[in-house]
Structure 1
Amino acid sequence: MKRALLLLIFAMPASLSLAACAAAQQTQAPSLAKRPIEGRFDVAPPAIVIPPPGPLPSDLAGRLARWEADAASGQQAFAAERDATAALVAAAAGAPVASERWVVAQQAISRLTAARAPLSGALADIDRLYIERTVDEAVDGLPDIYALRDRIAEMESAQDAILQALSAALPGQ
């Protein structure tokens, strides 16, 4: 008898759950199809018209011309010092650190670094101008400013590579 009662207790929940499943299958489940209200946000966002930057303002044209001239003079001064510096570094290649030839080569590298100061200053000034105009959202002339900045940065990068190569050629570096 206990077994029959135990079997009845375990069989009852199973039969109830099967009945519930059968009842759920007989009712109409909601459709998962798209409803008309769901499509009301399927609209393309409005086009945002951004005017292109205008020409360079006249007050900046003179500053850019001055910075371009400074960069050119820094490039010329660097080129004039480069060959003499390379010769002094080559002469100091086998010399011990702190010897006279090594010190002369170090001084030549310092003079070469100083010769490019106008170019470095022009790049710093144009970077400052670019950041100020970007923060102020003054887009007129930014393509011209950025193009000049790119040219000056390329010159400085080439000079950096030369200075690093000369410094690496000296012993103790």
Structure 2
Amino acid sequence: MSKRIAILLTLGLVGCTEAPGVYPSLALRPIESRSDAEPEVVTPVAAPDPELDKKIAAIDAKLSASDAAFAASAATAESAARSPAAQAVGSNEWVRAESALADLDSLRVDTLGAITDLDQLTSERGVAGDPPYPALEDARAKAQAQLDAQQTKIAAIKAILGEK
């Protein structure tokens, strides 16, 4: 029995060896010769769209009107908030300042609505598979800057009144 096991083991070991002089190739494999560089992405250029330009211009006009109204209302709110009488909660000046702040919030919502409209236009272009439209992106950035400035102004007036 042990002779059989020895023969089987010998045959098994012989099957695991390679012929002498045969070694693995050191040549480059296909995976080693490929490039790991990022592929160059070609950004498609958007074709002019007069209809979209009209929509952007209308939204921009709304933003300009909203910004002008906000500036006037902010001046009123800040003046009321800086009044010494406005520091007393419940005073007429305090109520006037709070009312002006409410007006500012309403005007800020108008700006936010314009941003929503611009985002909707961007989304529609994406769904249609159209490339980004630079005028639309510029209008969106301008609207966001306007909204940020409005929020900063409202926070500053609230700080004058001692609010957070």
Is the pair's TM-score, using the shorter chain for normalization, greater than 0.5?
Answer: yes
Aligned to 1:122: 114
Q: Are the structure 2 counterparts of residues 94 and 68 from structure 1 closer, same or farther at C-alpha, using a change threshold of 3 Å?
A: closer
Aligned to 2:67: 75
Q: Which ranges of 4 or more aligned residues in structure 1 deviate by more than 6 Å? A: none
Equivalent-residue separation in structure 1 for 2:31 and 2:99 (angstroms): 74
The one-letter amino acid of 2:91's match is S
CA shift at 1:129, angstroms?
1.1
Equivalent-residue separation in structure 2 for 1:130 and 1:56 (angstroms): 15
Mean alpha-carbon deviation: is it higher for 158-167 or for 100-109? 100-109
Equivalent-residue separation in structure 1 for 2:109 and 2:135 (angstroms): 23
CA shift at 1:89, angstroms?
0.7
CA contact under 8 A between 1:92 and 1:105: conserved in structure 2?
no
Of the candidates 120, 135, 145, which is equivalent to residue 144 of structure 1?
A: 135
Work out the number of aligned pairs and report it.
144
1:24-39 equivalence runs, <5 A: 30-31=23-24, 33-34=26-27, 38-39=29-30
The one-letter amino acid of 2:23's match is P
Q: Are the structure 2 counterparts of residues 64 and 94 from structure 1 closer, same or farther at C-alpha, using a change threshold of 3 Å?
A: closer
CA contact under 8 A between 2:53 and 2:135: conserved in structure 1?
no
CA shift at 1:136, angstroms?
2.6
* Structure with more relative contact order (C-alpha pairs < 8 Å, separation 6 or more): 1
- Structure 2, unmatched stretches of 5+, are 1-16
Aligned to 2:13: none
Under a length normalisation based on structure 1, what TM-score does the superposition of the two structures give? 0.69
Helix, strand or coil: the match of 2:115?
helix
Q: Are the structure 2 counterparts of residues 60 and 85 from structure 1 closer, same or farther at C-alpha, using a change threshold of 3 Å?
A: same
* Greater Rg by CA: 1
Equivalent-residue separation in structure 1 for 2:55 and 2:141 (angstroms): 16
Under a length normalisation based on structure 2, what TM-score does the superposition of the two structures give? 0.72
CA shift at 1:85, angstroms?
1.0
1:155 matches 2:146: yes
CA contact under 8 A between 1:94 and 1:171: conserved in structure 2?
no
Equivalent-residue separation in structure 1 for 2:25 and 2:84 (angstroms): 83
